[in-house]
Structure 1
């Protein structure tokens, strides 16, 4: 951020990062809520209950993600004003960043569900893999690539793009293993 637009960019990023903590914690809370249920159902060999828990969780995080996007789209200026940003340049930059950055919340929830699912059944490798890819490898890769093509907007889009790539892979492969097979084999 400092490389592309200096200290104004860092100030705008700080505003978004403070807001991000609240959104992140919501998804973390949902993951923490489903973890004991999935663990219990896995041990009790109740695949239908696991499927039901995953379905309800997916619907919840997608709804919450959509709500966060709407809040970001319609309330960006208000959210920025909470932080007392005096500079119009920083406020405009942060509002634009919120519009783009918040797109990642639709995908982030899905990633948290499947990270939690794998942890809950004692299959840690996929869970760690999801965490490493979405939070480090893909995010850093997107931070290096996207600003080259889209400037500052590429920085704001790095998280949504990283989260979306992981979520699509999970919905294609992990969800198939959970929903279609109904078995307890470890897949990923």
Structure 2
């Protein structure tokens, strides 16, 4: 692990220098000050069969897009994720709602202990962003990001009486099933 990290860090300056060392090459016949035009079809404004030696570059300044009625009626979806992490978690909810006596009992238990929830939230702040990113990348329900709240209160060193370990409380057999290393030096369940 340390060896791989060393190699990755050693490659970063080389990659940066390689990107900086080669400026964009501009052919001599396409200098920035010259303008190359081709004959255009008067009906369409498109180039009329330019030969291989003639290139067509747009000329003039930038023009705003025409405000066509068909474009105004369409809404554009934002590509940026919400700034609030909790909003991202809520948007990713995909599991069906559970409505049972056990769920209501647990809701009452957590709602009557705001100090405990605040401590868990503070402890989880180290991990929650990364967990949500990975769930979104894998298109998985974001409720899974909240599982460590219940299982271990976001304590990566938690061990249950049944020998489940880590934030996600993997049992030893489950860890073996997912090929997680478990020996006296390393426990990947944590």
TM-score range, shorter chain: under 0.3
The structure whose Rg is larger is 2
Higher normalized contact order (CA 8 Å, seq sep 6+, divided by chain length): 1
**Which has the larger helix fraction?**
1
TM-score using structure 2 length: 0.23
TM-score using structure 1 length: 0.23
